[in-house]
Structure 1
Amino acid sequence: MTTHRYRSHTCAQLRKSDVGNSVRLSGWVHRVRDHGGLLFIDLRDHYGLTQIVADPDSPAFK
C-alpha cells in the first residue's frame, strides 16, 4: 500500500492534472534551491521525485 494518513500520493503518481490540487506527500528533502523569493524543493520518496515551488514569505512558513 502506497497511501496512508500522511500521504495521498507518491511522488511518482503526480501528474500535470494535479496542479492546483491539495495533496499530501511523504518523503525526504533531496535538495533546496533559493532563487530569491521562491524556494524550489526536490522531495524524494521510494517511488520518485517531485519538485515543490514554495514562497518563503507564505504564512505556512511562519
Structure 2
Amino acid sequence: MGDLMEGLKRTHNCGQLRVDDINSEVTLMGWVQRRRDHGGLIFVDLRDRYGITQVVFNPDVDRDSHGKAALLRSEYVTAIK
C-alpha cells in the first residue's frame, strides 16, 4: 500500500452523497468499515464521523484502483477519489 494521500482534499463527507452527485468526481476520506470481494467487484464501506458510503471497484473500469482496493482491510485509513 504505502500510497500517500498528499495533495488530496476531501470534497464530501461519507453519507453526504446524493443522486445529484452521480458521475461527479469526489474525494472521500475515512476508515474502511468492511471490504467484500464478490468475484470481481470489490465493495468497500467507507466510514467517517458523518456516516458510511459504499464504494464499488470494478476492474473493467479501473484495474489499478481495483488492485489497491483488494489490499484494503478493516480500519485502514484511506482516501478515495
- TM-score above 0.5, yes or no: yes
* Cα offsets for 1:11-50 (capped at 9, x unmatched): 1210011121110001000000100010010000000000
Residue 56 of structure 1 deviates from its aligned partner by 4.5
**Residue type at the aligned position of 1:32:** R
**Structure 2 unaligned runs (5+)?**
1-7, 69-81
Q: Which aligned segments of 4 or more residues in structure 1 are displaced greater than 2 angstroms?
A: 59-62
TM-score of the pair, normalised by structure 1: 0.80
Q: Distance in 2 between matches of 1:27 and 1:56?
A: 22
**Residue type at the aligned position of 1:59:** D
Please report the RMSD computed on the Cα atoms of aligned residues, expressed in angstroms: 1.7
Q: Give the share of equivalent positions with the same residue, in percent.
A: 55
Q: Distance in 1 between matches of 2:46 and 2:64?
A: 20
**Residue type at the aligned position of 1:49:** I
Q: Distance in 2 between matches of 1:9 and 1:24?
A: 6
Given the alignment of the two structures, is residue 46 of structure 1 paired with residue 49 of structure 2, yes or no?
A: yes
Per the alignment, in what secondary structure is the counterpart of residue 29 of structure 2?
A: coil
Report 1:10-49 matches (<5 A): 10-49=13-52
